[in-house]
Structure 1
């Protein structure tokens, strides 16, 4: 066994970084045995050096992250600061100065993964980022290694714990969105500013990463269609229950039926209670993978938090250190297919549309005509009315998203339609 330690530097020492440092210390003997050499924490870059960080030698603390990644004696950089800059520059600088990188930075990987992979290859380094998607759940490695010989056709999952907690609370307690959000905030599941979560930005970054790996093509954050969940109401859940469904914020990555394009999207959707994702509760994550040979696979577990995310970081650290000892690198970027990413209009799915309409004869016929004119077939209709006003709920058969958009635009122009209360896709059937 090699006796000279492999040197590791941390960029960031918040919830995740401090947990990585703790595990490196408390599990030092196990890590040495698994890697084949000891690992040594050689530096920690932070913004606030005066903060007490229990278990970390104060002499390792620095505010000069650039100098740390340029040292030349660092074997692995662990980046857990997040954001685009300075993380992007620090990672490329680390490659240039001989270090491989383990990152948990979903936003950066989703936006600039191709360029970062190219820089890693140029300098003969590793870039691993299991912790960027779904916390502790082993997902990226199975997709790019275990399923490397298979053809993945669809990845559908719950990849944000905050939104799942909120929607689960609305489902199980009947709470409204704001009430459920307040509970999530009080319990520490939601940030003070929850925009990235509830508007789907976080999930969209993860969808871009998953789609790129699953389909071996370039998928950037800008390619992902995104809808938030702030407009989901108790009435939507009531409708979902009548259909034997619940509502989840889903990341959905699909290969087209002809195999010539892919789509990636994030939005709330109704899914049948019989689907495995329907039973995912609280702040947990789960991802459902459909592959030609392997069939249907389910990955489930805690998708965020210091310890779960640190677990994924340490798994990557062990792999990268082993590669370092073997003087090799692990699997890199695989985008040989160069498939185009189709727009949301090309997506084919079912829809649940709730309309506020006038309660008088002929309304249903008018509405049905609009659906027919736009090539959208109706599966079921439910109407309730009182005092001249009515609610009309239409569930369609599968249709292109573009056709549904045209249908809704036409419905809004009808004098008998007071408003479109809700539009939700129905998935998982």
Structure 2
């Protein structure tokens, strides 16, 4: 006897999920293009249609390469939060505070789910927004806020959910990675490559957030919270950027078997007082050439998560751009469409309810061990090397290799020379002590540069 089957025709089709979209820049236009192009495919995968009903941006008349005439226009994007014909508000405006945050809170308070690509807002206000979303029973999703089109948030929350994550790290800023890998390929200096990156649109007119590590720090704090089940803590991320890296540093790293990459690094550890502490650092690292991250170049992002059972997991792809970021935004919308029900039951934004996230203190760093690359710009006179090596000796730093370059390095027009060294493995506190001993020496023409070497 044939089993009873429910025909497709007899199934009741859920009503379409209705979207309001704030922000019509490259990503916003990409979201519209993706939804319109893949409309039927999205409906099949989401189990219901996905429809944009309203949009908002600063300039209504701007040509964005997509037809927005079919959607309602809101001059005040805050009005989207109260529209009765909207289920999900998507925010692509940016900024940690101001209109974006007002819209997020208004949408959640008015019973809407909220999707954003705004890493700064989530880094600064993610806990409070998650708390509000959980209380309201609606979704807060931000896959596109970290690493563009790479599904790293979903990967950590779902794919690696069975693992205790021991360390998460990676290349989280495409602009910095483009600059460093181009310096590596061409031998050009930082300022020249930054100008090229700005001309190509890889860097903003004001690149501060990118090259000083702030953008990567926003993303790292979000990843750390999801990976370790800890309260999000952007303020304790130690951030150091790439402004001071010279072409000579790139060349030195290459000769030693490394490439330089700006990495975000996080892990949980037990402090000397027995408390749980969260280590978070954005810093230029020397990466061994046989490590997968050494081969990630251009504006690409890549994240490594080390699980206690899975081992190393590598997520790699485009970290920005209209297509990849729009893809991540729409993936969040599909998730909401799939799991939307009358009870509004949906996963907590940080995988674990906010009330159950571990509270941690910032990690101490002095006891951390590893090898480091140190670079000094000094006056070309007798005795300078002796001063440097004496400081290393007195601080307990063991030198593995030491190289002195003449004034041929780019930037040496003032007569200074470059001295670099790699230390043996030791505590970071010892390196800090050596630099304190060298501080203020008349022979130093610039602040020393320290870059840690990535442990495999």
The bucket for the TM-score relative to the shorter chain is over 0.9
SS in 1 for 2:290: coil
The correspondence for 2:231, drawn from 218, 221, 226, is: 218
Distance of 1:100 and 1:336 partners within structure 2: 22
The correspondence of residues 252-401 of structure 1 with structure 2, limited to 5 A, is 252-256=265-269, 260-325=276-341, 327=343, 328-333=345-350, 334=352, 336-345=357-366, 347-356=368-377, 364-383=385-404, 391-401=418-428
Instruction: Tell me what 2:87 maps to.
Output: 75
Q: How far off is 1:284 after superposition?
A: 0.8
Q: How far off is 1:397 after superposition?
A: 2.4
Instruction: Tell me what 1:39 maps to.
Output: 50
Cα contact 1:76–1:321 (8 A) shared by 2: no
Instruction: Tell me what 1:28 maps to.
Output: 39
Regions of 4+ moved over 6 Å: 358-362
The correspondence for 1:238, drawn from 246, 251, 263, is: 251
Instruction: Tell me what 2:6 maps to.
Output: none
Instruction: Tell me what 1:127 maps to.
Output: 140
Q: Compared with structure 1, are the counterparts of its residues 92 and 237 closer, same or farther at alpha carbon in structure 2 (3 Å cutoff)? A: same
SS in 2 for 1:261: strand
Higher mean displacement: 139-148 or 366-375:
366-375
Q: Compared with structure 1, are the counterparts of its residues 319 and 59 closer, same or farther at alpha carbon in structure 2 (3 Å cutoff)? A: closer
Distance of 1:52 and 1:419 partners within structure 2: 48
The correspondence for 1:12, drawn from 7, 20, 23, is: 23
Distance of 2:81 and 2:381 partners within structure 1: 71
Distance of 2:433 and 2:13 partners within structure 1: 66
SS in 2 for 1:265: strand
Distance of 1:59 and 1:416 partners within structure 2: 66
Q: Normalising by structure 1, what TM-score?
A: 0.93
- CA offset digits 1:142-168 (Å, max 9, x no partner): 112222221111111111111111111
Instruction: Tell me what 2:411 maps to.
Output: none
Instruction: Tell me what 2:412 maps to.
Output: none
Higher mean displacement: 169-178 or 258-267:
258-267
SS in 2 for 1:102: strand
Distance of 1:357 and 1:161 partners within structure 2: 32
Root-mean-square deviation over aligned CA pairs = 2.3
Instruction: Tell me what 1:249 maps to.
Output: 262
Q: How far off is 1:3 after superposition?
A: 4.4
Cα contact 1:161–1:304 (8 A) shared by 2: yes
Instruction: Tell me what 1:49 maps to.
Output: 60
Q: Compared with structure 1, are the counterparts of its residues 341 and 78 closer, same or farther at alpha carbon in structure 2 (3 Å cutoff)? A: same
The correspondence for 1:113, drawn from 126, 141, 151, is: 126
SS in 2 for 1:110: helix
Distance of 1:24 and 1:385 partners within structure 2: 58
Q: How far off is 1:372 after superposition?
A: 3.1
Distance of 1:170 and 1:290 partners within structure 2: 29
Question: 5+ residue gaps in structure 2?
Answer: 1-11, 408-414
Q: Matched residue pairs, number?
A: 428
Distance of 2:406 and 2:169 partners within structure 1: 37
Distance of 1:254 and 1:99 partners within structure 2: 34
Question: 5+ residue gaps in structure 1?
Answer: none
Higher mean displacement: 307-316 or 353-362:
353-362
| Alignment pair present for 1:228 and 2:241 | yes
Instruction: Tell me what 1:163 maps to.
Output: 176
Q: Normalising by structure 2, what TM-score?
A: 0.88
- CA offset digits 1:256-275 (Å, max 9, x no partner): 27793221111212111111
Instruction: Tell me what 2:4 maps to.
Output: none
- CA offset digits 1:230-281 (Å, max 9, x no partner): 1110110111011111111111112227793221111212111111101001
